[in-house]
Structure 1
Amino acid sequence: MLKSLAHTFIALCFLVCGLSFVAGAQHAANISVKVIKPHFVVLPEQVINVPVFVTNNAANSVSLKLNIDKPADWSLVTRAELDVLKPNEQKFLVLSVRVPSMCAVGEYRLGVQIVNPETGGELAAEAATVQVQEVEKISLQLIEFDENVMAGESYKASFLLTNRGNTEKKVFLETLNCNVEGDAHIEVKPGESSTFFVVGSTSEELGTAQKRYVSVSAVVGGQVKEKIFRQVTVFPLKNVKKDLFFRYPVKASVSYLAANPEDTYQSSYQFEIAGSGALDQEGKHHLEFLARGPNNADFSYLGMYDQYYLNYTNKNVDVTVGEKSYQFTPLTESSRFGKGIENKFSLNNGLSAGFVYVKPSFYKEIDHEMAFFSEYKKNDKNKLAMYFVQKKNTAEDDLVYLVSLGSSFQPFKKTNIEVEASRGFFGDIADNAFRGNIDTRFSIFSLGGSYFNVGKNYSGYYSNSTFYSGTARAQISEKVNVGVFLREDFSNAQLDTFFVSAPYSSSQQYFLNYNITPRSRMSVYWRENERRDRLNAEKFYYKTRSLNAQFRQSFSRFSSTFAGEYGETANYLLSELSNKQNTYRISSTLGYRFASTFSVRAFGSYSNLNSYISEKQRNVTAGISVNAQMWQKLRVNMYVQNAYNIEDYYRNRNLMQFDIDYKVARNHQLSFRTYYTLFRRQTENPDFFVSATYQYKLGIPLKQTLKAGDLTGRLVRDSGEPMEGVVLKFLNKSAITDKNGEFEFRSVQPGVYILDIDRSKFEFEEMPDVPQPFKVEIIEDRETTVNVGIVKGAKLKGRVVLKASNGAEFKSDEQPDIENIIIELGNDLENYRIATDKNGSFSFPLVLPRSWTLKIYANTVPDGFELETNEYQFDFKPGELVDLQVDLKQKQRKIIFKSQGITLSNSGNGGLKPLKMKTKVASQKAENKDEFYYCVQIGAFSKKIKAESSYFKSRRFDVEKQINNLYKYFVGRYSTLAEASKEQEKLRKHFKGAFVVAFKNGNQIYINDQ
C-alpha cells in the first residue's frame, strides 16, 4: 500500500514539473524582444537611448519583467517597467544608459532580457553593442613658481599633469628656458594626475634685472595639448652702473696658430683689432675697420691672412680703403678680394654715383680692375644701375672694357624681378652676357628661377657659360604640395683662387611633399642627376636616374631623418659594356636633446653609386656632433666625420672640429679651435690646425650722453629684522632686497620719481612707514639713500548713527537715508576721503601709526540733523584698530509766526489808504515729499539776505531754504535737467557760481556745478 502511494506521489511530481516546463517553454516561444538599433558609437559621459519592442504572441496575458545586462560602472538613467502584456500586444520601450566619464576605449555589450517575474527564467533576450571611442584630454596646471630669483640662483616650478581622457597617455614635457627634473616622458592613466618639477639656471654676471620667459608644453603624439607661459625676473647680485658715455665698440685679440702640413709643425702669433659701430647717437655716421697681422697665409684655412681696411658711411657717402672683397655686378665682377678703394656718393633724391679700384691679392691673372657706376633707387624693390668696368689682365697689353645695365623692380605685390645685360670688349672682340631672376606667387602657385647666358668671348666674371635653375610649386592643401626643380651649372666660371669651380652638374627633380603631422614630413621625388669633374684628371663623370624618399620627424627630444635612393647610374669613365649599374643609397640622421643646452646628433650613410672609377664602389660615411653649454661661461662644440665624397673637392672639408669658448669675465673671452681638414682639390692627407685666442671687448668713449645719480636704501621691520626678497620698482627698473634688506638703483637720470614697493612679501597689515606714493628725488652725481621701515598699520572704521532729539536711536525702518555722508581722514602728508554706505558704515584703508584728523562734512548730513562735533583727533599706534560711532542728533524745530495782513496808514487827506505789501518769501514752503524737480542755486550765506539786497538786484530769488546752517537761494522749478541747465546759462551772467540742483523727498542733491 505504502509503495503504491509513493509511486503515485512521484508520478504527480513529474506531471507538475512537466506541465510547468511546457508552460514556460510556451511562454518563451510566445514572447519576443527586438532591439531596433543594435550598434552604437559613443563618447564617455554620453547617454545611450536603446529603442526596444517587446511582443506577446500568446493567446493569454503574461506577466513580464525587464532586466538590463550592462557593465557594472554604467548607470541606468531611466528604468522602463513591464507589467502585463495582453494577447498580441506589443510595447515600445526606450532604455537610457549613461557611459561613465573614464570608460576605456573598446566594444561593450548591452543586453536586454525578458524574464518570468515568478520563476526568474529568461523568456527572451537580445543585445546591442556599444563602441566607446577615445577622448584625449590632457590638462596642465601650474602649482608653484619662483617669480623672482637672484642672479646665479636656479628658479623652480611645479606642475600638475592630469589625464581627463579615457586612454592611458605617454606625455612628453617640452620646455623653454628650463629643464624637467627626471624623465621628461610621463605615462598617465585615465583620471590620474602626476606632479613634476622644472628648473632653470641663471648667470651670476647679470648686470641688470632681466625678464626670462619660461614655457612648459604637454605634447602627445607630436601635438601640443596644453602650454603654460610664465615670466621670471632675475635680479643682479649687484646693479652694474650704467655707462654714461656713448662708446664706439672695439674688439682686440691675440691668437696662437699651429699646423702640421706635410708632417711639418708650424706655429705663429697673430694680432687683430677691429671695430664696427656708429660714431654718433643718432647713427648717422658709421665706421668699420680691421687690422690683422702679421701675414700667415699658410694658415689661410683659419682666415688668418693679413688684412687692413677702413670703411666710413653716412647718408650720402660710403668710402672704403684697404683689403676686402670688392663687388661690381654678378656678370662683370661678382667678387674680387684685393687692395683697393671704393667711393659712393648719394643724393637725397635716390641718385648715386661712385667708382671702385681693386688690385687682386690672390688672382694673379688680373693686374687691376676699375669701375665707374651710377644708380637710381626709388626703394629697396625698384632700382636701376649702370656700370662701366675697365680690367687689365697680367698677360695682355690691351684693356678689357665692360658695360653693364641692371635693374630690379616689383611689377606686382608678390612678384620681384631682377635683370642685367652686359657687353664686353677686348681689342676687336666683343660679346654679350645676360642674367635674370624672378620670384612670384599667385593663388596656390609659387615660381622662382634664375638664368645666366654668357657669350664665348665675354671677358667678365664668367665666360662661355649657361646656367639656369627654377622651381615651380603648387600648394594643393595644407599638408600636400607638389612641384618640379630644374638646374644646370656653369660650364666655365672664372673664380678667385680662394675658390674652386664646383663640378658641372645638371639636375631634374619632380617632388611631392606631405606633412603628416606638424612635426613629421614625408617627401618622394624622382631625380635625374649628372655630375662631371672639372679638374684635368677627371675622377668622376656619371649620370643617375633614381627614385628617392625622405622622412623627417621630431618627437619629444628626438629628431630623425631617414632617406633612401634606388636607381641606375651610368659611369662614363668606364667602358660602355660595364658602365651601367643599379645603385642605391641609404642615410639617416638621429638627434637627441638632453636639455636645452645639450644636444647630440649622429649621422651616417651607405651607398653604391657607381660614380667613380671603381666598378664596385662602396662608400660608408658616419659622424657625430655635440653642442653643449657646460656652464654659464663655458660652451663646447664637437664635430667628427670619417670621410667625404671625392666630388666634394671644391670646398674645404672638416673631418674633425673641436671648439671651446670660455667667458673669463664680462669683456674677456678665451677660445680654442682644432680642425682636421681636407683642403680644396685634395682627396687625402688632411692637415691638422690649432688656434688659441684671447679676445677683449672695449668701448672708446666719444661723448657723455647721460647725467645720473644713484639710489640706495634698506627695508627693515620695527623689530630690526631686515626684509629680504622684496621687489621694488623705480622708473623703468626693478630691484630686490638682499638678505640685509638692502637695494640699489644705479645710473638713474636726475628727477623726482615714485618708488613702488611690492607688498606681496609683507605680513598681514604690514606697510611701509612712508606715505604712498613715495616720491624720491635723484640728484646728478650723488647717491640718494632712503631707509624704509615696515610697520603694522592702523585701522579706522565706524558707523554714523541717527538719534532723535530725545537721544533715542532711530529704528532701521524709520531712519532717513544716511548714505554718502563724506568723511575725510588726513594729516599734513596724506588724505583719504570716503562716503558712508546705506547703513551709515565706513572703513578706511590701513594708515600709518601717527596723528590723524577725522573730519565729517556737515553739508552732506541729512536735513534735520546736526553733528555734535565734525572733527576727531587720533594718535594711532602700530596695529591699532579703532571702531568709531558718530552720532547725528535731530534738530529741534522752532515755529515763528509772521503777520501777512494789510497795514493802513494816514493818507494825508484825512482818509485811509492801503500800504503796498512788502514781499516776504516763505523760509520753507510746504512741499510734496514725493516730488522731484530741478532748480538753480544762485547763492548760499551763513546769514539771511534780504530780498532788497543789492546781490539780487539783477534777479530776485524764487525760493529760500535753510539747509545745513546755510541760507540758500534758488531760482525756478523745472521738471527736466535740460530746462534747468538752460536757465543756469542765463543766470551765470549775473551769478558766476550758479549751478543746478535737484530736490527729491525733501533732500537737496547736487547735479551739475559746471
Structure 2
Amino acid sequence: MELTNSLSKNLSIEAEWILPENWRLITKPSINKKKETKNIRIFSIISVPVNFRSGISKLIIKVKHNNKTFKTKEINVKIKELHKIEVNLVEKPNFVRAGKKFFYKYLIENKGNTEEKINIESRFSEGKTESFDIPVSSSKMVSLEQYIEGDFTKPTTKLTDIIVTGKNIDTISKINSFTVYPNTSSRNDLYFYYPVTTVVNYTFLKNEVKKSQFLLYNVNGNGFLDIKKKHHLNIGTIRAGGDKSTRYENLERNWIKYKYKKNELYLGDFSFNFTRLLEQNRLGRGGYSKLYFKKFHFAFFYNTPLFFKEVKNQLGGYMKLNPFNNYNTSFGILNRVYDNTKTTTTLNITQSYKNAFSSLYLETAMTMLGKKKRIGLQFTGKAKLNNYEILSDILYTSPEFDGYFYNSSNIFTSIKKTFSKRFILVNEINYNFLNPRPDEIIEQIAPFNQRYFSRLYFVPNRGHRHSIELGYLSVKDRSKKIKFNFYEYLLNYQYKIKKNNFSLALDNGIRLSTNNLVSSDEKRKTSLQSSILGVYFITNNLILNTNVQYSNTNRYSQSKRNLLFYGGSLNYKIKNSWDLAIGFRNDYELSEQYKRRSLFNLTGKFKFNKNHHLNFAGNIGSSSLNTNSKDFLLSIGYRLNLNIPISKNKNIGDISGFLNSKSINDRSGIIFNLDGYSSITDDKGNFKFKDITTGKHYLSVDQSSLKFNSMINEDIPLEVTVNKKEEKQVKLSLIKPSKIGGKITFKKNNQTQASLFKNKLPQLIIKLAQDDKIKYTLTNNKNEFLFSQIKPGKYKIGIVSKNYEKKFTFSNNHRLITVNEGEIKEIVFSVSEKLRRLKMQNKKFKLKSSN
C-alpha cells in the first residue's frame, strides 16, 4: 500500500490488517517513512491456506496515526482455482470366483480448493457409472461393484481399474490386480501335443536389373514325441514358388532331426559347423550324428556343399573327452574331395579349460596334402586377476591349409586395468588378415584392418563417462579392384551421458590420415571426425534413435572431402502384440559397403494371439555386389502355430468335493489346492478337480481363504487316492474352532528364608494331546496359556513338570477334558512351592585358624 505525506513534518504511522479466516500474517507491516511530500509505503507478507476456497476474498487495512484510523482500504484478492483429486484403494477382495459379484472400495479426496463434479467407472462394472459432487477438503468412500464371467480352469490374474474423470481435472486411472479361481479345475496337460509352425511369405523384389516375386512356404515341426520328453523330432521343409531367389534366407531346404536325450541324428539340408579352423556355416546336403557315452562325445558327418562348387563332398567327425568338469579335449578329422580329383585330409586337436577366473581354448590343425603338411593354430583366452581383465584371440593358418581359413593371421589382445571406480585403462591390439572360404551366396567379406589403441576412461558417476583414446587404424579393401587403402593416427575424446529416459554419446577426434591410393606427396593430411549418437525413450513403448557422423578427410580421395552421414529409427511396441519399427540412413562410408546397406526400412509384427502372427517388411537398399543399384524389397508373411495332439493320458479320474457345515452358512470362496491346481467352492460348498492322474494325491486348503473363526474339521492335507475313470467323492466339514485356555495359580511357602533360596515359578510348558497328536504352548508372564484353532473332541492336558518337581508341587497335574465346537474351555492348575527342610547330622568339625 502506498500513501502520500503532504504535510511539512514527519508522521508516526501504524497499520493493521483484517484478514479472512485462517489467513495468517507472516510479518508485521513494515512502514517506509519518508519526509514531507514523499510517498509512504506499507509492506506485509501474508500466508494463505493451501486449500482455501477459490474466488474473491476481501482484505482490509487500517492506517493509524496516534492510535486513530485516518485511512481504510479494502483489497480484493482473487484466489486461483486449484484442482486436485486423490484416489486411494481402501479394500479389495483376496479371491474372486467367476460369475459372482465382488467389490473394490476407494477413498476419493478433494485436496483442491474448488468443489468438483466427478464421474467414476470401471472395466468390470458392467457399464455402470457413478457421478457425484465432492466439496472442498472432503472425501467420499466409493464401493465399485464388479462382475467377471468366463470358463476358468486355473487361477488367472486379471486387472481391474477405476477411472475418475471431471470437467476440470485430468483423468485418473488406478489399476489393481485380482485372481480369479475356478470352481472346477481341469488339467491342461491331458493331451500331449506336438508343435507345428507353418509360414507363408510373399516377397516382391525390384531393382534396375530385374523385377521378381515369389512365395515361400515353410512347415516346421519341432517338439517332443512323448510325455517323458526323451524323444525329440524336428522335421521341416522350405519351398519357394514363382521366381527363384538365391537370397540365403529364401533357399529351398528339407530336413529331419531326431534326438534321444542328448544323442542326435540329422538328415537333409543344413548349415554345418565343425570348428572355427576347419569349417563354419557351410550349407550342404547330407547328414550328421552325435552320440554321448558317459564322458565321451562322438560326432560324424557327411555333406555335399550346395554353394561351394570346388568341393565335391566332405566327410569327417570328432571324438570329445570330458574327463573333468572344467576340462575337455577332442580329436577330429575332415576329408575333402575336390572336383579336380584332389583329396585333402585335415586333422585337429582341441583343448579347453574353464574356471571361475579364466578360460582357455586351443586348437591345432594340420592338412595332409600328399607329402606337404600345412598347419592352422587358434588360441582364445580370458582371465581376471585382481584389477586386470585380459582377453586374447590368436589365429594363424598357412597358405595351403585346407580349412575355413587359409593364409590368414589374426591377433587380438585386450588388457583392461581398473584403478578405481572412476578410472579405467584399456589397451588393445587388433590385427586382422583373415581369408575365409565362404559360400558363394555370401556377400563380400569385411576388409582387412588393423587397430591399436590405448583408451582411458573417467567415470565421475553412473550417468556420465569420459574417455580419451590414442591409437592407430589401418583399413584395406580386399576386392580385386581396390577402392580404399588408408591408415591413420588418431586422438579421440568421447563423452557419454545416460539419464532415466535418454542417453547421448559424443565422439570428436583429430586424425593424421594417409591414403595409399594417391601419390606420395599428397597422401597424408590432417582429418577431423565427429559423431553424435542418441537414444530417447519418449515413452516406455516408443523409442527414438538418432545418429549423425561428420568427417573432413582424405580417406577415399586425393584431397580432403566433407562427408556427412545421418540416420535414425523409431520403435513402437505395444506389450507383446504389436511391434513397429521405421529407420533410414542417407548413405554409408565406402569402407562399410562390403555388406548389404539399408537406406530405408519399415518392419512390423503383429500377434493376434499366441497362434496367429502377421509380419511385414519394406526395404530400400543396395548390396555389395552392386553398390550403385538400389533394391526395393517388400515382404508380407503369416505364421500359424499348431499344436497337434499325439497322445492322451488315459490314466485319469476326477475328484468331487463337498464342504458341509451345521454352524457356518457361508461356505463359498474357500480355495482347495491339489498338485498345483486350485478350485474355489461355490455358494453350496462344492468344488471339483477334473482329469487327475491315478494314484495318491494330497488335498490342502488355502488357510487365508477361510472365513474368520472357521476351520476344516478333517486333517489337512488329506490323502486322496484316484483310480482310473473314477470320480472320487470327498466330504469335508467346516466348523467353528474351539479354544482351550487357562491359568496356573502359584502358592508360595511361609518359611522365613533368604531371598537367595526363594523359588520363582518359571515359564512352564503345557501339553495338549489327542491320541498321537500333540501340541505344546508356553505360559506367559502372568502364568496364562492358550490353545486356539482346536477341533472338538476329547483331550488330555497337563503341565510338563520334569526337572521342576524338586522345587514345586504339582496338584492334579493332568486332566481329561471334552471340548465342543466353538467352545472356550477354561482350565486352572495349581502349583505350590515346596518347604525347605534342615537335616541334622552327628558329626564333629574342627576349625583351623588361618594364622
Q: Which residue of 494, 498, 504 corresponds with 2:437?
A: 494
- In structure 2, the partner of 1:370 is 315
Deviation of 1:507 (Å): 1.7
Query: In structure 2, how many angstroms separate the alpha carbons of the residues matched to 1:760 and 1:585?
Result: 68
Is 1:665 the equivalent of 2:609?
yes
Partner of 1:437 in structure 2?
A: 379
Distance in 2 between residues matched to 1:421 and 1:262, nearest whole Å: 46
Cα distance change of structure 1 residues 277 and 834 upon mapping to structure 2, 3 Å threshold: same
Does the 8 A contact of 1:328 with 1:371 survive in 2? no
Distance 1:930 1:858 in 2: 23
| Aligned mates of 1:417, 1:274 — CA distance in 2 | 35
CA gap 1:747/1:580 in 2 versus in 1, 3 angstroms? farther
Aligned pair partner of 2:235 in 279, 284, 289: 289
Q: Partner residue of 2:7?
A: none
Report if aligned partners of 1:527, 1:546 keep a CA contact under 8 Å in 2. Answer: yes
Matched with 1:70 is none
Aligned match of 1:399: 342
Counterpart Cα distance in 2 of 1:821 and 1:388: 79
Per-residue deviation, residues 68-115 of structure 1 (Å, max 9, x unmatched): xxxxxxxxxxxxxxxxxxxxxxxxxxxxxxxxxxxxxxxxxxxxxxxx
Aligned partner of residue 489 in structure 1, secondary structure: strand
Tell me by how many angstroms 1:873 deviates: 6.2
Kept in 2: contact 1:151–1:205 (CA 8 A): no
- 1-side partners of 2:274 and 2:225: how far apart? 28
2:525 aligned with 1:525: no
Q: Displacement, 1:272? A: 1.7
Higher helix share: 1
Q: Is the 8 A contact 2:654 2:688 kept in 1?
A: no
Given the alignment, which residue of 646, 664, 667 partners 1:701? 646
Q: Give SS of 1:618's match.
A: strand
**1:681 equivalenced with 2:587 (yes/no):** no
1:779-794 correspondence to structure 2 within 5 Å = 779-780=722-723, 781=725
Question: What is the CA distance between 1:331 and its match in structure 2?
Answer: 3.6
Give the secondary-structure state (helix, strand or coil) at the position aligned to 2:579.
strand
Bigger RCO of structures 1 and 2 (CA < 8 A, at least 6 apart): 2
SS of the aligned residue for 1:303 comes to helix
Give the drift of 1:317. Answer: 5.1
Deviation at 1:874, TM superposition (A): 6.5
Equivalent position of 1:545 in the other structure: 489
Please say if 1:418 is aligned against 2:362: yes
Using the TM superposition, give the Cα deviation of residue 753 of structure 1 relative to its aligned residue in structure 2, in angstroms: 1.8
Instruction: Work out the CA distance in 2 between the residues paired with 1:636 and 1:205.
Output: 33
How far has the Cα of 1:360 moved from its partner?
1.9
**Gap runs ≥5 in structure 2:** 1-87, 108-149, 159-175, 748-759, 840-851
Q: How much does 1:485 deviate?
A: 1.8
Q: Which moves more between the two structures, 523-532 or 465-474? A: 465-474
Letter paired with 2:377? R
Question: What SS does structure 2 have at the residue aligned with 1:845?
Answer: strand
Deviation at 1:383, TM superposition (A): 0.8
Cα distance in 2 for residues equivalent to 1:727 and 1:666: 30
Distance 1:311 1:841, change over 3 A: closer
Higher alpha-carbon Rg: 1
Q: Judging changes above 3 Å, is the alpha-carbon distance between structure 1 residues 407 and 799 closer, same or farther for their aligned structure 2 residues?
A: closer
Tell me how far apart the structure 2 counterparts of residues 623 and 205 of structure 1 sit (CA, whole Å): 50
Other-structure match for 1:303: 249
- Counterpart contact for 2:550–2:565, Cα < 8 Å: yes
Partner Cα distance (1:150, 1:663) in 2: 29
The CA distance in 2 between the partners of 1:236 and 1:835, in whole Å, is 39
| Residues 1:490 and 1:400: Cα distance change in structure 2 (over 3 Å) | farther
Q: How does 1:213-252 map to 2 (within 5 A)?
A: 241-252=187-198
Structure 2 SS opposite 1:294: strand
AA aligned to 1:432 is R
Q: Distance in 2 between matches of 1:535 and 1:639?
A: 29
Shift, 1:721, TM fit: 6.0
- Determine if the alignment matches structure 1 residue 587 to structure 2 residue 531: yes
User: What is the CA deviation profile of residues 892-931 of structure 1, one whole-angstrom value per residue up to 9, with x for unaligned ones?
Assistant: xxxxxxxxxxxxxxxxxxxxxxxxxxxxxxxxxxx98336
- Under a length normalisation based on structure 1, what TM-score does the superposition of the two structures give? 0.55
Stretch moving more, 701-710 or 446-455: 701-710
Match of 1:325 in 2: 271
Distance of 2:105 and 2:512 partners within structure 1: 58
Pairing 1:604–2:548 present: yes
1:823·1:835 contact (CA, 8 Å) conserved in 2? Answer: no
Could you say what secondary structure the match of 2:591 adopts? helix
Identity %: 17
**1:327 Cα shift?**
3.1
Note the alpha carbon deviations across 1:569-627, whole angstroms, 9 max, x for none: 22233444443333222222222335555433333322233322474433333333344
Q: Give the counterpart of 1:272 among 207, 213, 218.
A: 218
SS of residue in 1 equivalent to 2:710: strand
CA distance in 2, matches of 1:885, 1:445: 72
Residue matched to 1:929:
835
Q: What is the alpha-carbon distance in structure 2 between the residues aligned to residue 693 and residue 844 of structure 1?
A: 65
Q: Distance in 1 between matches of 2:459 and 2:153?
A: 45
Q: Is the 8 A contact 1:431 1:456 kept in 2?
A: no
Partner of 2:336: 390
Give the drift of 1:546.
1.2
CA contact (8 A) 1:717 1:723 kept: no
Compute the RMSD of aligned alpha carbons: 5.2
Amino acid aligned to 1:689: L
Decide whether aligned partners of structure 1 residues 705 and 626 sit closer, same or farther in structure 2, where only a CA change above 3 A counts.
farther
For residue 279 of structure 2, give the secondary structure of its aligned residue in structure 1.
Answer: coil
- Pick closer, same or farther for the CA change 1:148–1:401 going to 2, 3 Å: farther
* Aligned-pair CA distance for 1:416: 1.0
Structure-2 residue corresponding to 1:73: none
Query: What is the deviation of 1:635?
Result: 3.4
The separation in 2 between residues aligned to 1:267 and 1:714, in whole angstroms, is 67
CA contact (8 A) 1:462 1:494 kept: yes
Instruction: Out of 503-512 and 550-559, give the one that drifted further.
Output: 550-559
> Are 1:715 and 1:741, in contact at CA under 8 Å, matched by a contact in 2?
yes
Take 2:610 and 2:729, find their aligned partners in 1: how far apart are those partners? 28
DSSP 3-state at the match of 2:437: coil
1:296 to 1:676, Cα distance in 2 relative to 1, 3 A: farther
Q: Residue 449 and residue 498 in structure 1: after superposition, are their counterparts in 2 closer, same or farther (change >3 A)?
A: farther
Q: 1:490, 1:504 within 8 Å by CA — same for their partners in 2?
A: yes
- The answer to whether the 8 A contact 1:257-1:689 is kept is yes
User: Residue 453 of structure 2 aligns with which residue?
Assistant: 509
* Contact in 1 for aligned 2:296/2:319 (Cα 8 Å): no
Task: Describe the SS at the equivalent of 2:280.
Answer: coil
The normalised TM-score by structure 2 is 0.65
Partner in structure 1 of residue 513 of structure 2? 569
For 1:336, the equivalent position in structure 2 comes to 282
Question: Which of 298, 315, 321 matches 1:352?
Answer: 298
Would you say how many aligned residue pairs link Structure 1 and Structure 2?
666
Shift of 1:146: 8.4
